[in-house]
Structure 1
Amino acid sequence: MPTTSSSVAGLAADPNRPAVVDIWWWITSGSAPVDAPSVLSPAELAAAARLPRQRSQEYVVYRAAVRRTLGRLLDVPAASLVFGRRPCPECGDLEHGPPRVIHPVNPWWISISHTNGCAMLAIAPHEIGVDVERQRPIWSADLAAKVLTAAECAELSTIGDPVRRDRGFLACWTRKEATLKAVGTGIVTDLSALESHPATRGPVHLTTTVPGAPTNWQVHDLALPDPYLGSLAFPAAAGSRIRFREVTTGPDGELGR
């Protein structure tokens, strides 16, 4: 893919056009660029060191790519970015609210997701949530009862092919997790109370009851290559358009799209 550059100017809101949600995704299973660790914070390097080797390498790849992408958008060196959190919409705590870049100062909302082999970053002028999962055997009646609504259980239980049923379960999961990340709480709520409409092709609308957050969310299924599934959520009233791009990382750390 050709190498291109972006800047925050390209994300600036135009009052005459819908807001834009920008999403980048990349494969993380390759070797890390030689200089990737140099852009990570001490806390990120410490987190990587605590992981098994393969997971540690993937962590370095995706965190470096997140930093390089955001650094380009905000026109600062990737290593200079400082991450923090917004207040939790339920309790106001800064320890577990949605993530944000606190340096440099900027108005953008971000969401980051990572699964085995794939990672994703979203940025928007409003609440945003993304989730990516790798398809795997996961279905069980006990797990379904804990995280699915009665309607979702009934829909997926009729699927005889175990691979399709696993995919249906993960589609429900990514829709729910993306929504709750957009809300700002993450999956600390009762997932079995959130209806994700598995029989309906996206976009779908999910309704939440978290105080201080929008109630209605528009959720899109993202077109990722097998074996990955992803979802994007943002306030239903936003009416935003979506730009979805793959990122490739060269051995020198240069990003291409």
Structure 2
Amino acid sequence: MPATSELCHIQLWCASAAEDTPGKIETFCMRWLAQEEHQSAAKFKVASARHQHVIGRGMARYLLAGDQTAPHQIQFRHLDHGKPIVEHPTEMRRPFNIAHTKGLVLCGLGTESADHWLGVDVEGIQRKTDPGLANRYFAPEEIEQLERTKTSDAKQFLFLKIWTLKEAFIKAIGTGLQTPLDQFAFENANSNTPTLKLKDPSLAQGRHWQVRSVTPRQGYIAAVAIGTDRSNLQPKIELADFRQKMQNA
């Protein structure tokens, strides 16, 4: 008999990011940054990009720390292609990943095993796209899905769904754009529960993968990729507003 499915809980925290003058969320998150993160933030010449960086790092620290330690005590280590993981304290190790786009920052947070691999991505649906990018980078199955899409608006939306799914997966495995995007494909990408097809089996990294498309806020599309060591785990994604968490601090 097939194994009964069990839920794998993922919190997807959302925070608005200012375009110009920093607001309450930026001020709150800034206090938790390490010195090198302050230095990195200062290098951003575009205010909106700087705010996204500050919120992403500060929010991650605050959520990972919980009630067990101070957020500034969290120490990160970066993998070869830049993915951050918790180095110390070891008991705070949980799967997490940060994504941001103009106006919005996400922090995906696993609530269970630290051995799960997690990646998230987000885009604004009004972002203008070049259809030629799909022909250049996507897998044939995905290009075919786009070609079957009738209207330009629907095609742009599907392109962004596929793009966020791809970004979430390569962020989860920690390779970033070093992995060719045509080596894996998403079948039934219009669905919120598409199927990941790996043309290079080594990309699975010995894990079972589930992907989801979600709408974190009106005007945005996001994706979550979760890799586990058990085939019967199904992700349950809970959307949460970081502003409410901050107000209760």
Range class of TM-score, shorter chain: 0.7 to 0.9
The answer for the alignment partner of 1:222 in structure 2 is: 214
Structure with the larger helix share: 2
CA distance in 2, matches of 1:144, 1:98: 25
Verify the 8 A CA contact 1:207 1:216 in the aligned structure 2. no
Map Cα deviations across residues 135-191 of structure 1 (whole Å, 9 max, x no partner). Answer: 234433431112212222222134343222111101001111111222221222111
Unmatched tracts of structure 1, length 5 or more: 1-15, 86-93
Verify the 8 A CA contact 1:22 1:123 in the aligned structure 2. yes
The answer for the alignment partner of 1:12 in structure 2 is: none
Verify the 8 A CA contact 1:207 1:215 in the aligned structure 2. no
Helix, strand or coil for the counterpart of 1:136?
coil
Supply the AA of the counterpart residue of 2:17: T
Verify the 8 A CA contact 1:19 1:238 in the aligned structure 2. no
TM-score by length of 2: 0.80
Map Cα deviations across residues 77-118 of structure 1 (whole Å, 9 max, x no partner). Answer: 111111113xxxxxxxx4326421111113422211111111
The answer for the alignment partner of 1:28 in structure 2 is: 17
**Which residues of 2 match residues 55-74 of structure 1 at below 5 A?**
55-72=49-66
Verify the 8 A CA contact 1:26 1:246 in the aligned structure 2. no
CA distance in 1, matches of 2:178, 2:97: 17
Helix, strand or coil for the counterpart of 1:178?
helix
Unmatched tracts of structure 2, length 5 or more: none
Sequence identity, in percent? 23
The answer for the alignment partner of 1:147 in structure 2 is: 137
Tell whether 2:146 aligns with 1:156: yes
- Of residues 37, 45, 50 in structure 1, which corresponds to 2:30? 37
The answer for the alignment partner of 2:42 in structure 1 is: 49
The answer for the alignment partner of 1:82 in structure 2 is: 75
CA distance in 2, matches of 1:47, 1:120: 19
Map Cα deviations across residues 15-52 of structure 1 (whole Å, 9 max, x no partner). Answer: x9644223222222361443532211112111211111
Q: Would the alpha carbon gap of residues 175 and 212 (structure 1) be closer, same or farther in structure 2, given more than 3 Å must change?
A: closer
Q: Would the alpha carbon gap of residues 99 and 36 (structure 1) be closer, same or farther in structure 2, given more than 3 Å must change?
A: closer
Structure with the larger strand share: 2
CA distance in 2, matches of 1:35, 1:224: 21
Supply the AA of the counterpart residue of 1:184: G
CA distance in 1, matches of 2:13, 2:233: 20
Question: What RMSD, in angstroms, separates the aligned Cα atoms of the two structures?
Answer: 2.7
